[in-house]
Every structure is written in structure tokens, then in C-alpha cells.
Amino acid sequence: MAGYQDKPISPSAPLSAKALHWVDQRFPLSATWKAHVSEYYAPKNFNFWYAFGSLALLVLVIQIVTGIFLVMHYKPDANLAFASVEYIMRDVPWGWLVRYMHSTGASAFFIVVYLHMLRGLLYGSYRKPRELVWLFGVGIFLCLMAEAFFGYLLPWGQMSYWGAQVIVNLFGAIPFIGPDLSLWIRGDYVVSDATLNRFFSFHVIAIPLVLLGLVVAHIVALHEVGSNNPDGVEIKAKKDANGLPLDGIPFHPYYTVHDIFAAAIFLIVFSAIIFFAPEMGGYFLEFNNFIPADPLKTPPHIAPVWYFTPFYSILRATTSQFMYALEFGVIAYVALILTKSRLSGFIKMIIAGAAVLALIGMFVFDAKFWGVVLMGVSVMILAGLPWLDHSPVKSIRYRPDWHKYVYLVFGVAFLILGYLGVLPPTEARTLVAQICTFIYFGFFLLMPWWSTMGNFKPVPDRVTYQPH
């Protein structure tokens, strides 16, 4: 930064160059551009999976801009909220487009983020030295879930109202503090105008501020340690005489062009959905949400939006009968840790003690409480990935072939949980959800063992790259 302050500029330089020099003397604009874009060296073997991070940033901008225009006309009042949304859709010029961009953008955000997380899972982007990058990413995911939940009530339709009622009531299952916690979240004894106002303030101000801070931290942490690549090879290990990675290329212009191309394809699909199928058959916008909220009439089937349904299925799968299988699972898992783990004796004692307390709790507290616990743990367990994966290689390319089937089974179980979450529960569906729940948690909890098994392929010293 001092270099920019001391560097002279020719009197005959263009006005734009002089203006930039004046700014650089007072603010590190060019230095920031170089550090994070034009002179940030990324691996030269990126594939299409690496476009989803930039697409997530694009969708975030779309959501913020459309949200600003919606707030100009929206009324956070229980008596006016639904009518104000209808006013936006029918009377505000291009209001229908802005509203559909925002509602479709919510689903697009989760699609892009899920694919972004899948890429990190496949290529080991959470492994050393990128643990903090992954933790910031998990924080972003949690903020997205909170943002979507708080925004879901705002249209004040039937499904919004009753969905919020069900989710808030789940907190009532927490022992001792549950009823008071539910009351505090609602601000009233039922979902009402007070609930709408506090959800509106969280959705518009509080969560976006935290989300933007986490996004900045995620990008800064990534650029500090460098990007991962499909081979899982650290490009900083091989540098030329100038200290530049031999297998790296500047992010700009090479990957900015790639990202612009990916953004163009994304926007074509995004626009097609907005103009031709904004409700997406009731998955993006439920049909019951086009009916004003009626506290006296409960919909026959209440389900959250599709991006919450895998975790909602885990909640519903936790029945009183399922608790027996869960107790057996806890005992078997602790036995596995005590006999097959390399952890110290002290840590094993702590784990055994925690397991005993959990088993006692399973007899004391009902299945509803443990359903809420499992739903929360199913999200939070993602943060433990950097310490659960003990594989000697990062990328799935160099793992045993049967590892790919482990990932495939996990992905199929996750999709099945998501699909079952939008359907009314039956005995058969509940049984399938319980099996998929065990697969979901087994993937993570057994990872310290299965991730080290098999014959691993040799990892190259440098990235594999085919010019195109």
C-alpha cells in the first residue's frame, strides 16, 4: 500500500489514471483488486464445479436488490401483509417480476449452495489448511436457513403462517426452557403481528448483516490459503523463480470469463423459471400460500419449503419406536470408539460419559425432543467434516473406487429424505426415512474409519490439466 502512495504518476497520464492514483493514495483499491482478482493465482485445472461459488455471490446480489424493492411496498402488519404482497403482484409496475425473482432466487440460492457444498465434499475442500474456510461456509449455510425461515412467514399466506407455527412450536419440545423459548420467539402466545414484525426485522436487517460478514470472511480466508482443485494438490508447493505457482493462473481474466459464461447459462435457466414456472409445481411457491393466513383453519398437510425437507424428514422419522434403534446405535458407536479408535483414554472416557447421559436422556425425554436434537445435529455435523475425514488424500479422484458408492448412497439418502419431507407421513414412508436417517448420520460418524480403508491411488506432484 505504501508503494502506491510513493509511486509518482506522469503529468500527461489520462484523467482516469490520475483519479485512480488519487484514490490509491488514500484507499487500497488497486491493491485489493490485485490481491483478490487480477493477481490471485488459482489452480489452472478448475472445472465447472468451481463456478457455483461465484453463482452463489450472484444470487446473493439478486436477493438483496430485489429485497430492497420489495420492502418499498411491503407492509409488515398482520392485517396488511398479504394484501401488500398482492398489491406488489398486481399494481406495482414490474412488481410481479421482482417478487418472482426473489422467491425463485431463494430456491436458486439453496440449489447453488448445495452444489457448492457437494463440490467441497467430493474434492476435500474442507481439509487442511482450509478448515476455517469450511467453517465460515457452514456459518453461511446456517444463516441462509435462518434467513429463509424468517422470510417464509412474511407473505402471511396459509402455509407461511402454519409452517411458522409448527417450526416455532418445535422449540417447545426443549426441556425446561422450551415453552418460554417458543413464547419469546413468537412474541405472543400464537403466531401473530408481533411475530411478523420481529421476523421481518431479522429477515431484512439482522441476518443479512451477519451473512454479508461471513461471506467476506469466507472469501478472505479462501484467498489467504488458496483455492483447492480437483486433484487436491497444493499449487503453492511448486513455484517459479518469481514466486508464482507453476500450476496457477490469474483469476482475472481467465476465471472471470468462465464465471461470466456460467452466470449467463444460470440466468437463462433462472429467467425461464421466473417467466414460465415460478411456482415450480408448488415446490418454490406453495399453492396454499396464495390463500390469506387463517388461524382457525389448519391445512391438511403442513410441510416446509423443499430446501428444509431433508432435515424435516429426520425430525419426523424420530418416533418412539425409532428411539430403540437410536439407543442401540449409540451403544454400538461408543463400543466402536472404545475398541477401534486411537483417541486418548481421557477423551474416550468423556465420550463414554456423554453417551451414558444421552442414553439416560432418551428414557427421560420423549421422541419429539430427540427429533429436534437430531434435526439440529444433522446440520451442525457438517462443521465437523475437517476432523472426521482421515483419508490420506483429499480428492475423490484418488480414493478407492468403492468410496464413490459411499458418496452415492449418501446423496441418494439425502434426496429421498428431501422428497419424503414434502409428502404426508405414512408407516412405509416413515420407515424409509428412518433408514435414510441412519445412512445420513452413518456417513459422517463412521467416516474416521471408512475414509482410511481401501487402496488409494498415487496423487501427482502437480495438477493434471488438459488445455481446452
pLDDT digits (tens, 9 = 90+) for 121-176: 999 999 999 999 999 999 999 999 999 999 999 999 999 999 899 889 888 888 88
Taking 70 as the pLDDT cut, the residues of the chain under it are: 1-6, 468
pLDDT at 240: 87
**Known binder of ligand: residue 223?**
yes
Question: Which class in CATH covers the domain with range 34-290?
Answer: mainly alpha
**DSSP characters for 173-237?**
GSTTTHHHHHHHHHSSSSS-HHHHHHHHHIIIIIHHHHHHHHHHHHHHHHHHH----TT---GGG
The ranges assigned to domains in the chain are 34-290, 306-450
pLDDT at 468: 61
pTM: 0.94
**Known binder of ligand: residue 301?**
no
* The Cα angle at residue 30 between residues 24 and 34, in degrees rounded to 5: 155
One fold for 34-290 and 306-450: yes
**Known binder of ligand: residue 390?**
no
**Which triple of cell numbers denotes residue 277?**
414456472
**Known binder of ligand: residue 73?**
no
Per CATH, the number for 306-450 is 1.20.810.10
Tell me the per-residue pLDDT of 368-391, one tens digit each, with 9 for 90 and over.
999 999 999 999 999 999 999 999
Q: Is residue 38 within 8 Å of 252, Cβ to Cβ?
A: yes
**Known binder of ligand: residue 218?**
yes
